Amino acid sequence: MYLGGRWQPPTGDGVIEVVSPHTEAVIARLAAPATADVDAAVLAAREAFDHGPWQRTPVTERVAAIRDLAERYTAREPEIAALVTAEMGAPVRFSRSAHARLPGVMMRALADVAAGFPWEETRPGYLGADVLVTHEPVGVVAAIVPWNMPVFLTVAKLIPALLAGCSVVLKPSPETPLDAYVMAELLSESGIPPGVVSILPGDGALGAHLVAHPGVDKVSFTGSTAAGRQVAAACAPALRRVSLELGGKSAAVVLDDADPEKVAAGAQVSALMNGGQACVAQTRILVPRSRYREHVEALSEMVWTLRVGDPADEATDIGPLVSARQRDRVHGYLEIGLREGAKAVVGGPGAPPGCERGWYVRPTLFTEVTPDMRIAREEIFGPVITVLGYDGDDEAVALADSTEYGLSGSVWSADPGRALAVARRLHSGTIGINAAYSMDPVAPFGGVKASGIGREFGREGLAGYLTTKSVSGM
């Protein structure tokens, strides 16, 4: 395992088995870290931060090291795309663009953000003497990454932390550890000093040990809202800094002048990306009742024509879900929706034709959905879209904000100015206009309410790995 910046044997004999969501066959076995390995990783990170060169390295050199890492990463993008498709079932076209190519773009962009960041400034003091304000690395970071966007979310945490001068212990999900090993290989070839980074894939118990470790200064967690609450509670006694990117039940607010065909095409991306296994998935489509039938027809045609099957096939739109547990969870919600009175106009419970093996779910479109239904309020994390009707912009905004989440969303209109006016009223961290929200690396990303605390990307994301010091009397 990659511990303390070196390849080392584990202390125990546990094994992580990586299972193909398409064939249900074991495709890889790797060492499972024990809590003693976490202790060793945190100790190495602590030593590297307190006494090593990385946090004392000039920012320009840290930026250059990350740009070099990005170049090395780019050369291995095809391999990373294939690994993500194999380990979590993402269609290979999506793996190439979002899982593999986008992280490299993000690395370069985050390096640019750091290069232009105001690391220190002198302010004229109100009481006379000038004040020096500096931004310094927060320390040892525990970064916990889920299985749904493993490379992208690794980059979102690891790269800003390194640019800030922090040391990092990264815990990928046991479902998707293979791409993390490529990242470890790249780090071992780069100019990052020993001890600065450890990568230990493991389960929730391992993550809990890492989060509560007294040697950790900050926790950066992406996962479910329920798990995020546990992470926050574990950090509270030590007043440990924490950032949480959690669940979502995002809404696409379709105004009465929007084109149904364009909305349906957009929903294929915004609602069904990664098979719906995305916290930003806009699975609630809010349409005016006056045009309800038009939008349902366009959405039905889009969902009906999706090709489901082997994720390695170039023609596949929807692959399997990541695990049998996730498939069963989504099937459970399909049954709940029918019991609550919703109508599955496309899809429903059961495996898609020809997909009896593998963890597949039929892409499903629910109509006649009411806001009180569980399928309209709870995060399903699968290829399931709900359509809800409304009358007037005020009701649309109220409906969009009616869940406990506030992560993403979009507004669709022939009038961009009108769409922006509605977007300003929505209580959500990120909004797209006539498109799925685009994760631009210079734009801060994160949610409100039960969707999390803190931001990733942009200057705000980098600042999350920094602490501020004021020196007066200059």
Catalytic residue among 166, 175, 235, 279: 279
Q: Which listed residue (245, 368, 379, 456) is catalytic?
A: 245
Q: Does residue 15 sit in helix, strand or coil?
A: strand
Place of tokens 């090709």: 307
3-state secondary structure of 447: coil
Hey, what are 310's tokens? 């082997």
Note whether 140 and 161 are within 8 A (CB): no
Q: What is the chain's alpha carbon radius of gyration, rounded to the nearest angstrom?
A: 23
User: Which of 332, 304, 335 lies closest to 318 in space, CA to CA?
Assistant: 304
- Residue 171 near residue 202, CB atoms below 8 Å: yes
Residue 77: DSSP 8-state: H
Do 243 and 219 form a contact (C-beta atoms < 8 A)? yes
How far is the C-alpha of 205 from the C-alpha of 221, rounded, in Å?
A: 14
Whether the Cβ atoms of residue 37 and residue 232 lie closer than 8 Å to each other: no
Q: 152: helix, coil or strand?
A: helix
Question: What ranges make up the beta strands (E) of 237-327?
Answer: 241-245, 251-254, 284-288
Contact between residue 248 and residue 407 where contact means Cβ atoms under 8 Å apart: yes
Identify residue 264 by its one-letter amino acid code: A
Look up tokens 């049954």; give the residue. Answer: 335
β-partners of residue 171 are 144
Specify whether 235 is catalytic.
Answer: no
By the 8 A CB rule, do 427 and 408 touch? no
Q: Give the whole-angstrom CA distance, residue 47 versus residue 140.
A: 10
Task: Give CA–CA dist 161/445, Å, rounded.
Answer: 16
User: In this structure, what token pair is assigned to residue 188?
Assistant: 């071992």
Q: How far is CA 251 from the centre of its chain?
A: 17
Query: Is 378 an annotated catalytic residue?
Result: no
Record the tokens describing residue 232, joined without a space.
């926050």
Residues designated as active site: 245, 279
